[in-house]
Structure 1
């Protein structure tokens, strides 16, 4: 199911979509990336297995650039596919050079920016490789909020006003489109391709010493919802996500953070979100998240949560989980204790179950939840046509 034939994906469910053909994860790490310099300069990497593997195996799943994704799809009757890039951070170009050719990606129909942090915008200058001399395309449309635009203009004045460029004046040709975080927008039809509808998913990224919250945007494209930097999801945004076939969720590290979901928060989201997607994906990992060991913990957690329901351990509660649904796991799963212990572990051990029939018997179904990695390709099934909310 992936371009590199990775056996890890063979048993993954395939989300359906009326527009998306595939999603390519260009980066799955934080702004610091993986490996981290303070680990690789320690003798024997200290105790960080992720950084050690990322250094010794630079094409492996623990090597992570700044979080970004490319959504590739087409409408019925389109003459060619479209690629919509989500974020253009510090490692965009180096990862695009590797993964775009492997996936037949060349032109960028649009770039969607989630927020004005370096890991989301610092690669904008590299878009010159697409537009200088019109070598690939004449311009690249960028969609961003006014708050993000203000930061970009201060950081890259010559990208907004070409008269401020120096040297040879060889700068990318970018088309700036201001969007409202609370309103859907449309990428217009062009070159024999129909318009594409985009739903922003505003989430709180933290306060960062401000009196007002710092908003970050996730995006929903057809049946795919993507949230990479999240401290809290408002109820209105949860409603916009419902009906998604695939959901990508921020999961920075094991303990709680001021501006990101912990693994426990991300898992609680998928345990409570209803209706559940076909596939849950995690992204934005720090250096201490070793891919294989963490995936095993997540799989064990999911098996245990489903088995506990079959054993009659699910207990309804009036409180609400991160996904906006009923928090039914209070006797099974202690989110705060897991953050404190920096692990993923249920209160009791449960025997593994047969996952083939669990959706028919579990009152709170949890979809398969997988850690993403740089270069991961998630194919979508075009046979069904879910609609936007």
Structure 2
């Protein structure tokens, strides 16, 4: 899987005008890559991934990773496009400059928050720059934000001015309409015309994060911050639940180790010179999906090296699995 092209062809532009797509705005960990510590306090030998992350422009360097975030470009039946953002982290402004411009994304229509950690919500301060002119000027046409009550309370405590109903003219603050959702697979909600099923997962013990299942035609499950997939979530996205999953987008934060539920993240392990996906492998096989893309990687992951190993695993297991990269755009019939 190669990085996104810098000069889209006419065919690609035509496809973009007539189809839904997923844009990976960020595929990295909370600290993003390159890890500044590897550059200001270099090890001996220096970190290969973080050193390389500054050697090429991001559109040709998949080891440059911003905070995990997904943009859904949902094309309605009348060919109008709505842009739905899942998670808006610390690197959001950079993602806008890199990938909104590159993929000609004009604005955001709605936002879905997975949890209240900094790498999922701090970009709210910059959402105003991607609001359409209607959203900026009409208080009755605000950007909808979907989040749990727990996350709402956290956001309100950090940014009380976000939840004010009256803003002064000229405020560089997004006009947002807050909607509380439940951490319940039986309580879906609709964002910009597309239905989402909440998928509760553990993000470390004692903390629940939300993933989401969406798509009427192709079914996509997005699990960005997860240490353990709960049985009700696994059933919901499995073949025995609502049918076969077309695409699973799943976090794998660390290369070495075992994601045994005590960590806050799933891991990818190399054992006896062959690739074993540990919990990821378990989930991928149990769910019986068609394809998986991995996100949330730290600097242990060198994109091309790990994808070569994943290709071997994919051929052996019969399920295509690869690392995603920032800027990747996938056209999909939602």
Task: Give the TM-score taking structure 2 as reference length.
Answer: 0.81
How far does the alpha carbon of each residue in 1:250-300 deviate from its partner, in whole angstroms, 9 at most, with x for none? 1001223511000133541355224322x2100000112111111112222
How far does the alpha carbon of each residue in 1:311-343 deviate from its partner, in whole angstroms, 9 at most, with x for none? xxxxxxxxxxxxxxxxxxxxxxxxxxxxxxxxx
CA distance in structure 1 between the aligned counterparts of 2:161 and 2:136, rounded to whole angstroms: 21
CA distance in structure 2 between the aligned counterparts of 1:146 and 1:265, rounded to whole angstroms: 33
How far does the alpha carbon of each residue in 1:82-104 deviate from its partner, in whole angstroms, 9 at most, with x for none? 11110001111211222113223
CA distance in structure 2 between the aligned counterparts of 1:48 and 1:155, rounded to whole angstroms: 35
* 1:216-227 alignment runs, 5 A limit: 216-222=209-215, 223-227=219-223
Please identify which structure carries the higher strand content.
Answer: 2
Is the contact made by 1:270 and 1:276 (CA closer than 8 Å) also made in structure 2? no
Partner of 1:160: 163
Partner of 1:333: none
The alignment yields a C-alpha RMSD, in angstroms, of 2.7
C-alpha change, 1:62 and 1:369, in structure 2 (3 Å) is same
CA distance in structure 2 between the aligned counterparts of 1:300 and 1:5, rounded to whole angstroms: 25
SS of 2:234's equivalent? helix
Larger Rg: 1
Does 2:117 match 1:117?
A: yes
Residue segments in structure 1 that go unaligned for 5+ positions in a row: 7-18, 190-194, 208-212, 307-365
Q: What displacement does 1:38 show?
A: 1.3
Q: What displacement does 1:131 show?
A: 4.1
Residue segments in structure 2 that go unaligned for 5+ positions in a row: 7-17, 239-243, 269-276
Is the contact made by 1:2 and 1:379 (CA closer than 8 Å) also made in structure 2? no
Q: Which stretch of the first structure deviates more once superposed, 52-61 or 131-140?
A: 131-140
Q: 1:203 aligns with which of 201, 204, 229?
A: 201
Q: What displacement does 1:125 show?
A: 1.2
Partner of 1:369: 321
How far does the alpha carbon of each residue in 1:184-217 deviate from its partner, in whole angstroms, 9 at most, with x for none? 333367xxxxx3211111100013xxxxx21000
Partner of 1:12: none
CA distance in structure 2 between the aligned counterparts of 1:132 and 1:283, rounded to whole angstroms: 29
C-alpha change, 1:292 and 1:130, in structure 2 (3 Å) is closer
Is the contact made by 1:39 and 1:46 (CA closer than 8 Å) also made in structure 2? no
Partner of 1:334: none
* 1:287-302 alignment runs, 5 A limit: 287-302=299-314
CA distance in structure 2 between the aligned counterparts of 1:142 and 1:167, rounded to whole angstroms: 21
- Equivalences, count: 297
SS of 2:221's equivalent? strand
Partner of 2:245: 244
Q: What displacement does 1:379 show?
A: 1.6
